Chain A
């Protein structure tokens, strides 16, 4: 048997033949940026994940972790992929402690399923990342993804209190715990959250939950771009219980296919204010928000409001494999100017999470690669001059080759030492995050 054959056999021993895909056709749908893995494993337990990692390290097979595959577009083009470890079959609730507002679930649990489970007890995981209900808990944590309500509830970095992680050498470790407050030792979960599977494989996640708010509302304001900064700034500093605050330009509203009871125009910005809280406090908040801007105002009813929130949640998600989405992160007061800058590019859409300083943007379909690279470079420079960064969330392979996905990564030398410490053979992640030396 070939050397590869031997290695694959060892993997098969771990998960069983039916859970190791090797034929070209089956493996094709796991391609990432055009790169096809040699094999795909579908483990059913954390122990199997750990064993796969150990085996892969010993056999020199590079490993790419995968949840539901909703965010595989995120990252630099991979080096050759040996093994994809899909967490698809790790979907169990390990422990739901409703009274303590925590839940532990396996990494492959789809977020929608998890929300369903905790929703029955009038609780929610306050996390609304793009990628649909099928995006997995582990994937969202590994990419530290969050959505419109991040400004109120935080990102996975804030919500994760414990992890079970398989390390490259096959050790299965615990980081953090089950209590909301815990300072016993280093909080390694901070290291694994947002590490894109390059330091270890997240197998189980313990997160904080919150009571479902009694009531929600979505308000829409339209105003001239010149007014947006002041209006959103005031709202952010106010004592109102705002859960989300998004700014969209005209092209973004069209791309989201939102029909609003408001007339759009290129110089107009649409501001979406999401409220969550007690019913008793809604009326006053609504009145204050309505008064905060002289422009058009609308309150979306339940269904429409829910639809708008979903559209805003999904706004940064690429509609096709080639669609380009950039993400800027700046000090929050620059969100408006960033949307303004993007709106000057021909036909570009932009949505800003005003409370987090995170701004998404993308070109129209007809833009040429050359033009896009110029615009992205301009945006990146704009952000860098303001202590911010721009990364490519999604792009074609061609684009990723022409424009660095992550830009300059600060403290790269130190990050590499960490990478070496946790993954000495450089096996995990196919260099989609830190560039290979």
Chain B
């Protein structure tokens, strides 16, 4: 990297907070996806002002910058495709204020989601978004990806729980959008920034809406001989007017992976496990849990268990929680996608995915947030085998096409990042994308904020 630029960065954040050695840079050239790209420098700011100074250094030189939280995103969002500066927000991990009376928290972006929940719990409060990665992923990353999680069927996604942002714009200017109060006059800029994957600016402070923890919860686990029956149970539960906090399905491949790594006593000869979590007032729960169990039995569930105490519930959840890690353990190389369809299309799309799996001779471990139609197909392949990787990529494209045709989308919560840019035109016309590009050009006219992400280049539109 140019010495002058390095010095300017060192001046902005202090020498000890700038990395430029090749070995260090390597560590920040990938995330939890398969995308790769080497930065020219990695910096660790400690305040909004420092972030602004770094971004100014970049803006003056047209140098790309990429924000990074914990790097757990599954779409290549935090990889510097075109080099430049990676801005790691891990030092900015403070809870600035817990405002119990206003039901708001003000936090810095590098704060880990679970650390926040632990601070809130003694007040009887929570921040609803709870991505499965919450032990490591940062609230800033959650905001940038508009993260979901197992509980968003009932509670909504990140954007429904954020009321204000402080943002360093790609020019280096600091602005705030919204705050503790709702409805500031003007367009909803906080709303469009959430989920913008660091391509419109860097979020350096957030005002979060807090909610009381639920009164009580019960968990139902049902084991099925067919995936269809599990899916049908989900539809019936919702048709009866119940709105569980979570409805999760794991398929046989995933169960096998879990039992191989973190045995939880699930039988290996089954096709699906359905996990239902109900929360709310104790009085309604018993009846609802019993009714859910009954529905599963009517649909020929082989076994149904109900967890009422926190310990019992945790036991039922343990397999689900370890599912991703377990899958990664049997196959460290996998392509993850989270295409989403209207829930009732799940059986139809599942059949297609199974067909794709068979056609390519691949293993696809499926976990889904069934309540909101979010399918995680983890396509396992052999690292270092280009042929295998190519087939996995083809399968991914076919899954996206199937989901788009079923009225769904290519990503429900993981983001477009670098990996799904080429699939955007499955969903959007050239005019649609052009309208999105207008937004980008207002915020980032020079195109230096996380370039290469989210939107295809004009020439790529319609050429998928």
Contact = CB atoms under 8 A, between A and B. Distances in A.
Interface of A: 97, 99-102, 122, 144, 154-155, 157-158, 165, 167, 171-175, 177-188, 190-191, 193-195, 199, 210-212, 214, 233, 236-241, 277-278, 280-281, 284-285, 329-333, 356-358, 387-389, 391, 406-407, 409-412, 414-415, 417-418, 421-422, 433-434
Nearest to A278: B284
B122 interface: no
Contact of B183 (A100, A331, A358, A422): A358
B413 interface: yes
Contacts of A391: 185
Given A183-B414, A185-B454, A238-B212, A210 B183 contact: no
Contacts of B429: 173-174
A100 B342 contact: yes
Interface of B: 99-104, 124-125, 145-146, 148, 152-153, 156-157, 159-160, 175-177, 179-189, 191-192, 194-196, 212-215, 235, 238-239, 241-243, 280-284, 287-288, 340-344, 369, 372-374, 407-416, 420, 424, 427-429, 431-436, 438-442, 454-455
A408 B188 CA distance: 15
From A195, A212, A332, A407, residue with most partner B Cβ within 10 Å: A332
A389 B181 contact: yes
A144 to B, nearest CB: 7
A5 to B, nearest CB: 32
Given A237-B100, A358-B182, A122 B241 contact: yes
Which of A179, A387, A418 has most B Cβ within 10 Å?
A179
A418 B280 contact: no
Given A100-B343, A237-B124, A239-B213, A171 B181 contact: no
A387 B181 contact: yes
A281 B284 contact: yes
A96 to B, nearest CB: 12
Contact of B243 (A210, A233, A285): A210
B188 A281 contact: no
A362 B424 CA distance: 49
A158 B159 CA distance: 8
Closest 6 CB pairs of A and B: A190-B191, A211-B241, A278-B284, A181-B412, A333-B101, A239-B215
Contact of A241 (B280, B340, B374): B280
A382 to B, nearest CB: 13
Contacts, number: 243
Contact of B433 (A185, A358, A409): A185
Given A177-B427, A185-B424, A211-B241, A389 B184 contact: yes
A274 to B, nearest CB: 16
A356 B283 contact: no
A391 B185 CA distance: 8
A356 B180 CA distance: 10
Contacts of A199: 187
Contacts of B153: 180
B182 A184 contact: no
A381 to B, nearest CB: 15
21 contacts: A171-B434, A179-B372, A179-B408, A180-B152, A182-B412, A184-B424, A185-B416, A186-B195, A188-B436, A193-B188, A236-B103, A277-B281, A278-B281, A284-B283, A329-B184, A330-B181, A389-B183, A409-B186, A411-B186, A415-B189, A421-B438
B195 A171 contact: no
B284 A329 contact: no
A330 B424 CA distance: 39
A425 to B, nearest CB: 15
A185 B157 CA distance: 16
B235 A185 contact: no
Contacts of A211: 238, 241-243
B408 A214 contact: no
Contacts of A101: 238
Which of A122, A171, A181, A331 has most chain B Cβ within 10 Å? A181
Contacts of B454: 185-186
B187 A418 contact: yes
A175 B101 CA distance: 36
Given A158-B160, A280-B284, A389-B184, A332 B431 contact: no
Contacts of B424: 184-185
A420 to B, nearest CB: 8
Given A241-B281, A285-B281, 19 more contacts: A99-B239, A102-B342, A122-B241, A173-B429, A179-B407, A181-B369, A184-B411, A186-B454, A188-B439, A191-B191, A199-B187, A277-B281, A278-B288, A281-B280, A281-B282, A281-B284, A284-B281, A422-B435, A422-B438
Nearest to A198: B187
A214 B195 contact: no
Contact of B160 (A154, A175, A285): A154
B177 A172 contact: no
Given A181-B373, A181-B413, A186-B195, A175 B284 contact: no
A173 B282 CA distance: 46
A187 B428 CA distance: 12
A237 B184 contact: no
A42 to B, nearest CB: 25
A332 B103 contact: yes
A414 to B, nearest CB: 7
Contact of A99 (B344, B408, B440): B344
A213 to B, nearest CB: 8
A409 B187 CA distance: 10
Nearest to A285: B281
B340 A182 contact: yes
